[in-house]
Structure 1
Amino acid sequence: MLSTIYEPIQEDLVKVEDRLRSVGEVDFPWLSKLLDYSLGDGGKRIRPALVLLSGKFYNYDLSYLLPMATSVEVLHTATLVHDDAIDNSLVRRGHPTINKVWGEDKAILLGDYLLAKSEELVADTQNLRVIKLFAQTIMAISSGELNQAFSAFNLEQTRQQYLQRISGKTACLLCLATESGAILSQAPGKSVEALKGYGYNLGIAFQIADDILDFVGTEAEMGKPVGSDLAQGTLTLPAILLLERYPEDNPVRRLFQNEDKQKNIELALELVRNSSIIQECYAVASDYCARACQNLNLLPDNASRRSLIKLADYVVSRRK
């Protein structure tokens, strides 16, 4: 399905892949190996696609959009490498993580290198507004991750706090992709705001859908163990709804109070799967996708706009 969605920018996404491969062309063999391993593991490339699709409405200049599209994927990869090291995750996208294979110290240093590389790439846009936006996004991601870390195993989190957390953790990077694509294609102010709104709302929906999969997915399709968020003490929307439904006798409450970890994870998964909670979460995600697409009404009707609408549909239909 993604290949159809990416059709208007397919040739240029191939150029992004070429740029990503070139990131690994360094003199130090071990660094080259780590870069190739982290950047070549078959992600969906949604973020670079968003940069390119958002640039298709006005002055599509690949000399600026290509380094931007590459930079957001390198930044995304840096955050994943750091996340896996922080969480001591052993599997990512069905493959052993950097920290599993080479150790936490190498993972942290690789993440730092990727972060610096993403900043070097975004400098090639020669656009101070975009460079500043890129730095602000890194700060927002870091703030979101710190928010998650300090709220781990805290049962007193509200839906609003959850949405605020995932805004920094996920939505801001998709927002960066769409907003920068608009800016670099010299879109008028209202169109920049429209694409920014699309990216933000799509990012919220994307994270909610990911959080749903942590309850109903399989290890094979997720590339990591089911229930990983609960195991890390991260309260996501399905868990919040479960706590609202069963405020006292609740496996999430017992898990967060350090009682029989695996048993309570399994009980929480079972309760969520056998209730209407999943449908409620998908309804929230669908609402954010609808908000995202409403922003597109302000833009010219072309193949890229239709692809962005299809991408929103894809986000909430990955597994329903």
Structure 2
Amino acid sequence: MVSVTSLFAPVESDLQVLVENLKNLVGAKHPILYAAAEHLFGAGGKRIRPAIVLLLARAVSTGTDILPQHRRLAEITEMIHTASLVHDDVVDESDVRRGVPTVHSSFGNRVAVLAGDFLFAQSSWYLANLDNLTVVKLLSEVIMDLAEGEIQQGLNRFDTDLTLEAYLDKSYYKTASLIANSAKSVGVLSGLPNHQLDNLYAYGRSLGLAFQIVDDILDFTGSSEVLGKPAGSDLKSGNLTAPVLFALQEKPYLRGLIEREFAEASDFEQALDLIHQSEGIAKSRELANQQVQQAIACLEDLPASESQKALVELGNYVLRRVY
């Protein structure tokens, strides 16, 4: 199976520069914020979002090197993503992410909230310094979307009337908006025509939704070691995802278990069993597959290159995680 890191071969050296730059960009005046940043950017994340930005930049800049603004955009994208993770971990009370202690479990909640705020503020400052109003608007919207997604998730806990459409909207806000808008921003910085900008946006949107659906499937099929958190933890906290929503259409008994918030001792295990007995996981795979095919179709007008090929393969990699 192809690893995600080997997919990023065309931008491997770009990503190494990015990691070093991120530590310098944060350059926090306070030692504890710097320690938090060091901890965040040193953690073994896959850097998928900045890699997508850099691959797209290389795919649309055939024959020339990518712009310094493209590199900065990739750094801003990772800063925004990391800031949102720090806040998510506080909201979700997660002690570990990717096998590494979270900022709030290492430094306390106050520092974690401030570190997240600091990263959002830093990313906004660097964003303004790109001097491109269109890109500022696109990525400012992402920061609003991230908050909107978190709020929607909080308001819809244990809500068995949640529609698939509402779930996809929330998934867009929480995951796909950043990938879609940063992908479109690559094209804006390269001066591409509108129809190509729309394709880049649509690629990021569909890929981002596929990512989220796959993560939600893995919450039921992955091991705790791989997930870095207990299996089914989204369901336990009342966050109803695609496999649950599909299962609810088949297994009416599941509704009652969720609505009483797994009050009885065996409720949660029963709920997991019902989901596994249903078509929920298979239908969610199909949904992820549809999104990946849509994403790949958006790359057709890009010239053939190693980077373009890697972007196509990235869609296939996302799916292979659940097949």
Tell me if TM exceeds 0.5. yes
Distance 2:143 2:27 in 1: 25
Aligned residue among 300, 310, 313 for 1:307: 310
Q: Does 1:211 align with 2:213?
A: no
Distance 1:262 1:184, change over 3 A: farther
Amino acid at match of 1:25: G
Amino acid at match of 2:211: F
Distance 2:211 2:88 in 1: 18
Distance 1:263 1:173, change over 3 A: farther
The residue aligned with 2:99 is: 94
Q: Is the 8 A contact 1:61 1:184 kept in 2?
A: no
Q: Is the 8 A contact 2:242 2:280 kept in 1?
A: no
Q: Which runs of 5+ in 1 are unaligned?
A: none
Q: Is the 8 A contact 2:127 2:136 kept in 1?
A: yes
Shift of 1:262: 6.4
Distance 1:35 1:7 in 2: 26
Amino acid at match of 1:245: E
Paired residues in the alignment total 318
SS at match of 1:298: coil
Q: Does 1:276 align with 2:276?
A: no
1:53-202 aligned within 5 A: 53-59=55-61, 60-202=65-207
Amino acid at match of 1:69: A
Q: Does 1:294 align with 2:297?
A: yes
Distance 1:291 1:261, change over 3 A: farther
TM-score, scaled to structure 1 = 0.94
Aligned residue among 27, 30, 33 for 2:32: 30
Q: CA offsets per residue over residues 91-125 of structure 1, 9 Å max, x none?
A: 21112222222222221111100111111222332
Judge which range, 268-277 or 38-47, deviates more: 268-277
Judge which range, 206-215 or 114-123, deviates more: 114-123
Judge which range, 115-124 or 39-48, deviates more: 115-124
Q: Does 1:317 align with 2:316?
A: no
Q: Is the 8 A contact 1:205 1:289 kept in 2?
A: yes
Distance 2:24 2:256 in 1: 48
Distance 1:259 1:65 in 2: 48
Distance 1:20 1:289 in 2: 30
Distance 1:256 1:18 in 2: 47
Judge which range, 266-275 or 290-299, deviates more: 266-275
Q: Does 1:21 align with 2:20?
A: no
Distance 1:111 1:49 in 2: 22
Amino acid at match of 1:237: A
Q: Is the 8 A contact 2:245 2:280 kept in 1?
A: no
Shift of 1:24: 4.7
Q: Is the 8 A contact 2:257 2:271 kept in 1?
A: no
SS at match of 2:298: helix
Q: CA offsets per residue over residues 63-85 of structure 1, 9 Å max, x none?
A: 10111101111100110110111
Shift of 1:197: 0.5
Q: Which runs of 5+ in 2 are unaligned?
A: none
Distance 1:295 1:11, change over 3 A: same
Distance 2:102 2:320 in 1: 27
Identity level (%) = 36
Q: CA offsets per residue over residues 122-141 of structure 1, 9 Å max, x none?
A: 23322111011111111122
Q: Is the 8 A contact 1:198 1:293 kept in 2?
A: yes
Q: CA offsets per residue over residues 184-229 of structure 1, 9 Å max, x none?
A: 1222222111111100000110000000011111111111121111
Q: CA offsets per residue over residues 37-68 of structure 1, 9 Å max, x none?
A: 12221111111011111112334533101111
Distance 2:18 2:128 in 1: 16
Distance 2:44 2:67 in 1: 23
Distance 2:321 2:312 in 1: 15
SS at match of 1:197: helix
The residue aligned with 1:257 is: 260
Judge which range, 122-131 or 259-268, deviates more: 259-268
TM-score, scaled to structure 2 = 0.93
Amino acid at match of 1:37: H
Distance 1:243 1:194 in 2: 34
Q: Is the 8 A contact 1:99 1:106 kept in 2?
A: yes
